[in-house]
């Protein structure tokens, strides 16, 4: 099995990223050949500052390393170090349906948030994401629920390519966590927790101080009533139940049973405490890792070499199958 996922270097990583994606990346190292990439080429599709982008790449790399990515057990690199990703993006654009891109919900959301420019890059973003994964012929893509549509696009593009040009690419499967694939904002539980669209009090960051985390959970919006159980009329409590189940790695039913009759105050405190315990090791390891930029840079550059060794032969085969570029000897 080959696992591939990418994560944006923008903003501070939050509990949704941690539960939905980062924890799965760490576990993936024991389940197969794992490849993870920080997608700086995706980050430039919205307004950004070049110097801040470089810092954000290191921030994100340090969080992932602190969370347990081990460069000796996975390939960990920066997307922009390779030319293969944008090259494959272009080649695959010829088997990507324009109509499919117009239906991408992340594009609709993000284009609505832009103040100055909706870039063509933002529209093309899903094709680059398709290329990220198909370049490695990965079989599995661990992500949160919001990325499911992009992984479906990968499958469509791989299948269309293979039908048109021969069996070169692999259609990957999506892998979302059973619990916690869509963590909601603590203040607005009808919206997902997010870096760009969320509320400051409702977004728990991986690096938040313990007191800050506890405060955010104490002030989490609950619903009328006092039962700790899930339901469509109880989005706030349902979200907190999911969070506790995810961080403790138990089922939501077990959480409901444990907190039956205990009231919202005690429950919110328990969720806050559990999240603090879950994030503490990452926060403690982060500072020394982040302080050593040269080591981070070296790790990413080494990772890029390993990544290129896999992606480059795929590109050669794709070019050959499509009949573009120089003729390969024996091709
Ligand atoms: P991003 O920071 O947008 O690159 O997202 C990184 C990963 O976190 C992706 O796999 C997302 O699907 C996942 N993710 C983002 N927000 C949430 C959320 N609220 N709940 C669960 N997973 C999320
Ligand atoms: N678009 C993804 C997100 O917003 C990040 C991403 C880029 C990605 N390339 C990828 C995820 C490849 C999985 C596989 O979270």
DSSP string, 132-190: HHHTTT-SEEE--GGGHHHHHHHHHHHHHHHHHH-S----PEEE--SS-SSPBPSS-TT
Tell me what percent of the residues of the chain surpass a pLDDT of 90.
93
Map tokens 């400051």 to a residue: 200
Q: Are 94 and 225 part of one and the same domain? A: no
Lowest-confidence segment of 133-142, 172-181, 188-197 by average pLDDT: 188-197
The answer to whether 235 touches 11, Cβ cutoff 8 Å, is no
Task: Report if residue 184 sits inside a domain.
Answer: no
Q: Is residue 8 lining ligand 2, measured as CB closer than 6 Å?
A: yes
Task: Report if residue 250 sits inside a domain.
Answer: yes
* Nearest ligand for residue 141 CA: 2
Residues 199-233 pLDDT 10s: 999 999 999 999 999 999 999 999 888 899 999 99
Q: Are 115 and 52 part of one and the same domain? A: yes
Q: Tell me the pLDDT band of 268, cut-offs 50, 70 and 90.
A: very high
Q: Are 124 and 237 part of one and the same domain? A: no
* Nearest ligand for residue 22 CA: 1
How many structural domains compose the chain? 2
Q: Are 58 and 102 part of one and the same domain? A: yes
Domain containing residue 232: CATH number: 1.10.240.10
pLDDT exceeds 80 at position 121:
yes
Two structure tokens written together for 290: 């982040």
Distance 288 CA to ligand 1 centre (A): 25
Task: Report if residue 201 sits inside a domain.
Answer: no
Q: Is residue 133 lining ligand 2, measured as CB closer than 6 Å?
A: yes
- DSSP for residue 104: -
pLDDT exceeds 80 at position 330:
no
> In this predicted structure, what is the pLDDT of residue 226?
87
pLDDT exceeds 80 at position 73:
yes
Report the C-alpha gap between 75 and 305 in whole angstroms: 9
> In this predicted structure, what is the pLDDT of residue 6?
98
Task: Report if residue 116 sits inside a domain.
Answer: yes
Pocket of ligand 1 (CB under 6 A): 7-8, 16-17, 19-21, 143-144, 146-147, 181-183, 192-194
Q: Is residue 183 lining ligand 2, measured as CB closer than 6 Å?
A: no
| Best of 2, 3, 6 for a ligand 2 pocket test (most atoms within 8 Å of beta carbon) | 6
Which range marks the domain in which residue 158 is found?
2-175+293-322
- What mean pLDDT do residues 118-134 have? 97
> In this predicted structure, what is the pLDDT of residue 102?
96
Query: What's the mean per-residue pLDDT of the chain?
Result: 96
pLDDT exceeds 90 at position 22:
yes
Q: What is the pTM assigned to this prediction?
A: 0.96
Task: Report if residue 18 sits inside a domain.
Answer: yes
Pick the atom of ligand 2 nearest to 132's CA.
12
Strands 33-38, 140-142: pairing kind: unpaired
> In this predicted structure, what is the pLDDT of residue 228?
94
Domain containing residue 72: CATH number: 3.40.50.620
Q: Are 12 and 103 part of one and the same domain? A: yes
pLDDT exceeds 90 at position 52:
yes
Distance 130 CA to ligand 2 centre (A): 9
Strands 173-175, 33-38: pairing kind: unpaired
* Nearest ligand for residue 11 CA: 1
Q: Are 266 and 308 part of one and the same domain? A: no
Would you call 238 helix, strand, or coil by DSSP?
A: helix
Q: Are 158 and 238 part of one and the same domain? A: no
């Amino acid at each position: 099995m080959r696992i591939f996922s990418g994560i944006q270097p923008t903003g501070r990583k939050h509990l949704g990223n941690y539960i939905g994606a980062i924890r799965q990346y760490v576990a993936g190292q024991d389940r197969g050949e794992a490849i993870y990439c920080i997608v700086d080429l995706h980050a430039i599709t919205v307004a950004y500052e070049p110097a801040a982008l470089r810092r954000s790449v290191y921030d994100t790399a340090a969080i992932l390393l602190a969370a347990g990515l081990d460069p000796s057990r996975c390939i960990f690199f920066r997307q922009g170090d390779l030319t293969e990703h944008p090259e494959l993006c272009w080649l695959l654009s010829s088997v990507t349906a324009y109509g499919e891109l117009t239906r991408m919900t992340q594009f609709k959301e993000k284009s609505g948030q832009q103040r100055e420019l909706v870039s063509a890059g933002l529209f093309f973003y899903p094709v680059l994401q398709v290329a990220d994964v198909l370049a490695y012929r990965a079989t599995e893509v661990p992500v949160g629920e919001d990325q499911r549509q992009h992984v479906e696009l990968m499958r469509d593009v791989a299948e269309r390519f293979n039908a048109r040009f021969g069996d070169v690419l692999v259609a990957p499967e999506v892998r979302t966590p059973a619990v916690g694939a869509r963590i909601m904002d603590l203040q607005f539980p009808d919206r997902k927790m997010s870096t760009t669209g969320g509320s400051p009090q409702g977004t728990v960051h991986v690096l938040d101080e313990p007191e800050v985390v506890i405060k955010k959970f104490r002030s989490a919006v609950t619903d009328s009533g006092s039962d700790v159980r899930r339901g469509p009329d109880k989005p706030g409590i349902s979200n907190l139940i999911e969070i506790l189940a995810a961080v403790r790695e138990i089922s939501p039913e077990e959480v409901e049973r444990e907190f039956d009759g205990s009231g919202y105050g005690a429950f919110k405190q328990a969720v806050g405490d559990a999240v603090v315990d879950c994030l503490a090791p990452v926060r403690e390891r982060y500072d020394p890792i982040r302080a050593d930029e040269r080591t981070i840079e070296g790790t990413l550059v080494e990772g890029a070499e390993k990544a290129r060794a896999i992606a480059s032969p795929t590109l050669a085969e794709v070019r050959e199958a499509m009949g573009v570029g120089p003729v390969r000897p024996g091709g």
